[in-house]
Amino acid sequence: MVLYADEPEWSVNAADFTGSATVVGALFLNNEVTGSDNIVGAFVGDSCRGVGSPIAFNDGWLYFITVYANTNGETVSFRAWISETDTVLSVWETIIYSQGHSFGGPDDPYTLNTYLDHDFPPVLSGIPDQVIHQGESFEVVRLYGHLEVNDPDPIIWHVTGQEYLVVDLTDSVAHVEPVAGWVGTESLVFSAVDDSENGHAGSDTAAYTVLPEDNPPVMAGIPDQTIGINSQFSSFDLNEFLIELDGNDVGFGHSFPEPSEPETDPLWSVDHSDHEFSMSATVLVESMGSIAQGGSHTLAAFAPDGSVRGVSSGVQFNDTWIYFITIYSNTDGDTISFRFFDQELSMDLPVQGSITFVHNAVLGGPDDPLVYRAGFLLVDIDDAGWVDISVSDPLWVGSGTVTFQAQDTGTENAHTATDEAVFTVLQETAPVLSGIPDQYLLPGESFSDIELSDYL
């Protein structure tokens, strides 16, 4: 802001304010220290909060300004009256008022810059690097969005550095395309030049990278499996159902679809007065393949007869949620099983594993909890892509769908492919063959015949 005016009559009534701060400043006009007859005023909006005149110090001039205010955090701006040109100019710098604070000092004054008819160089910055794959296009760059100017000089645009890139630069808009078949990185230097006598310029560099074509992986053909109770699902290798055209490394994962029909919260409860003894456990629950987050879920402990022996909700600990559960019984040796109600999924889930009740025992802790897995199907995938699927409840009968994922790793797009398979457990009980004895022979002896039905 430039105002042509006589010497201003800036003033402030210190009695109107409850606090003050000090500024020791050096005033510059067009980047040079100004003369001795200027005045600097401090303002909040149009309210004058302080005035300073120059005092000679060493080879320059300093302005000692007391700034008054009632509230911390106000933004204080400055204005300078330049006596030689009889103009009032805005100072570029501001301060945030803090009662009792000192801004600058005689040996390190606070810089106060102001300008009059100054030819500023343009500043060009923040043009982003871009990475694409063959067959894709770079985003259009609108250079004015990265330009800062402080005078009205017209701008002339230039670009250099292109060898394998074709650049169409029109009206500050740059369209960049790679030469057909090229793969690599090339840096472009964009320049903004003042169309003025001085011809000040600003520039910025951006790297443009073209990677080989990135094809997404394809995953298909994972077979459904059906077994009976007491049987096991067959393990399989996800790589046998994966097509990866680019040879990229792939990471595997899995998920479960949302349930079609939500279940009602069972609202488990236990009356501890019915039991003489107790023990405690600290548990971390993985529900349907991921750690259960939030305090709305419920973990419950059960006796062999199905009665509830303990109930707990999640408690946040560091970056996860754990369950401090107290378990009650009248007898040591009870086998305690668990169920988990996932409030987010509205599912009542069996939990893999059990513990033996021992009164006063303490299992796990916040830093080393027991880790239990809740869900009908438990899926394990190793780094090589081998899949093992088991059931948490050996008496469960039903079907579950698993969505398997393969994702490119170390690539810009991280393409993903998925395939689903259904795993079913029927009521039919699979035959169990066990107890067939080992046999050892001496030279010249023969193995005994085995009647397999005896071990069925």
Residues with Cβ within 8 Å of 207's Cβ and at least 6 positions away in sequence, in order, are 129, 130, 185, 186, 187
Region 199-219: what's the mean pLDDT? 93
- Report the pLDDT value the prediction gives residue 5, as an integer from 0 to 100: 54
- At residue 416, the pLDDT reads 96
What CA dihedral angle connects 95, 100, 103 and 106, to 10 degrees?
160
Tokens representing 441 are 């022979």
Domain 123-211 of CATH type 2.40.30.10: no
- Beta-strand relationship, 19-29 and 110-114: parallel
Kindly state the average pLDDT of the residues 213-230: 93
Homologous superfamily, domain 272-374: Immunoglobulins (2.60.40.10)
CATH architecture of the domain with range 2-114 = Sandwich (2.60)
Helix H or strand E segment including 362? strand 362-363
Strand 236-237, strand 386-391: pairing: antiparallel
- pTM exceeds 0.85, yes or no: no
DSSP letter string over 102-118?
EE-BTTBPEEEEE-SS-
Domain pair 2-114 / 272-374, same fold: yes
Q: How confident is the model at residue 396 (pLDDT cuts 50, 70, 90)?
A: very high
Residue 334 has pLDDT above 60, yes or no: yes
Mean pLDDT of all residues belonging to the chain? 93
- Cβ neighbors of 97 (< 8 A, separation 6 or more) are 21, 44, 67, 69, 71, 72, 73, 74, 75, 76
Q: Are 133 and 212 in contact (CB under 8 A)?
A: yes
Q: At 30, phi and psi to the nearest 5?
A: 50, 40
What confidence tens digit (pLDDT) does each residue in 144-192 have? 999 998 888 899 999 999 999 999 999 899 999 999 999 999 999 999 9
Where in the chain are the domains?
Answer: 2-114, 123-211, 272-374
Task: Say whether pLDDT at 395 is over 70.
Answer: yes
User: How far is 297 from 299, CA to CA, in rounded Å?
Assistant: 7
Residue 1 pLDDT > 60: no
- As a whole number of angstroms, the distance between CA 432 and CA 454 comes to 11
DSSP code of residue 28: E
